[in-house]
Amino acid sequence: MQTAKLLRKICSQGVNRHTRLIFSSIAPFCNKFEQCNYDLSEAEYENIPDPYVHQLIQACSNALEEIKVSIYFTLFEFC
């Protein structure tokens, strides 16, 4: 419910400006996540040992968490 209110407020204040700011704030974390996914695909294809694969999975999870936190902080600035 709170999320819907926040999103309505953002949209009512000019969606283009806010969307650009949100995407620019999460872009570095998205790039990290994309690289992590690529590395994970390569590791699975090459039969890399499990400990390394688990490290990659954790890195991907961390990148997703960074994206989430970045979005929350960006939304908080506007609301």
Tell me the per-residue pLDDT of 23-68, one tens digit each, with 9 for 90 and over: 777 778 778 878 887 888 888 778 777 888 888 888 888 888 888 8
Phi-psi region of 47 (alpha: psi -120 to 50; beta: other; left: phi over 0): left
Is 45 inside a domain boundary?
yes
Q: Which pTM value belongs to this model?
A: 0.58
What is the predicted pLDDT for the residue at 17? 65
Q: Which domain holds residue 58?
A: 17-78
What is the predicted pLDDT for the residue at 58? 87
Token pair for 59: 């890195």
Is 10 inside a domain boundary?
no
Phi-psi region of 48 (alpha: psi -120 to 50; beta: other; left: phi over 0): beta
Is 51 inside a domain boundary?
yes
Is 23 inside a domain boundary?
yes
Is 8 inside a domain boundary?
no
Is 6 inside a domain boundary?
no
How many structural domains comprise the chain? 1
